[in-house]
A = this chain, B = another copy of it.
Amino acid sequence: MKLLEEKIRQDGKAVNEHILKVDSFINHQVDPALMQDMGREIADHFRSRGITKVATIESSGISPALMTAFALEVPMVILKKQPSKILNQDLYQTVVTSFTKETNYELTLSKKYITAEDHVLLVDDFLANGEAATAAIRLIRMSHATIAGLGVLIEKSFQPGREKLKSQGIEVYALARIGKMAENYIEFID
């Protein structure tokens, strides 16, 4: 998506070879019209797949997922982060180890909101290591739902997320793919 690449070039900031700041339009301040355009583009890519739910991970995936779900006219389900294990028979639960934040958390999903009949599109803001997406997919599969794919705004293609998901049979669709970064330097993959 050329629009997002241009926005990243203009308002994003490559801090070093790993850290991209997009705080001004995606993470902290959000551009709602751009978010709708991005959600619509992800929706268009997956439109013919019979998706019944859009799932996302709390909380930075909520904006793109809401706009994607709106465009597909299906509900959005937010996979919730819990700081510690809670005991609840009505929930699916899985532990996520975050390398970037060096913390563990519990990802949870109410059994009511994704079932074996669902075909789920996962949407998130970033794909890097694929650790959060892998946990989300593990959680969704506990319900025996099928997974249509993962749609993300920005993929750090120099990290192993896409390969990790591909090896699990998950299609990844990214609006902007970054091949290489350095301080104040960003190289996109077409």
User: Nearest residue in B to A108 (C-beta to C-beta)?
Assistant: B28
Complex CA gap A36/B76 in Å reads 13
- Our pick among B30, B76, B78 for the contact of A78 (Cβ within 8 Å) is B30
CB of A24 closer than 8 Å to a CB of B: yes
CB of A107 closer than 8 Å to a CB of B: no
One digit per residue, 1 when the CB lies within 8 angstroms of any chain B CB and 0 when it does not, for chain A 36-54 equals 1000000000000000000
Question: In the complex this chain forms, how many copies of it are found?
Answer: 2
B28 touches A113 (CB 8 A): yes
A30 touches B69 (CB 8 A): yes
Given A24-B113, A29-B76, A30-B76, output 11 extra A-B contacts at Cβ < 8 Å.
A24-B112, A27-B78, A28-B80, A28-B113, A29-B75, A29-B113, A30-B77, A32-B69, A58-B59, A62-B63, A62-B66
Interface residues on A, range: 20 to 34
| B residues less than 8 Å from A63 (CB atoms) | 62, 66, 76
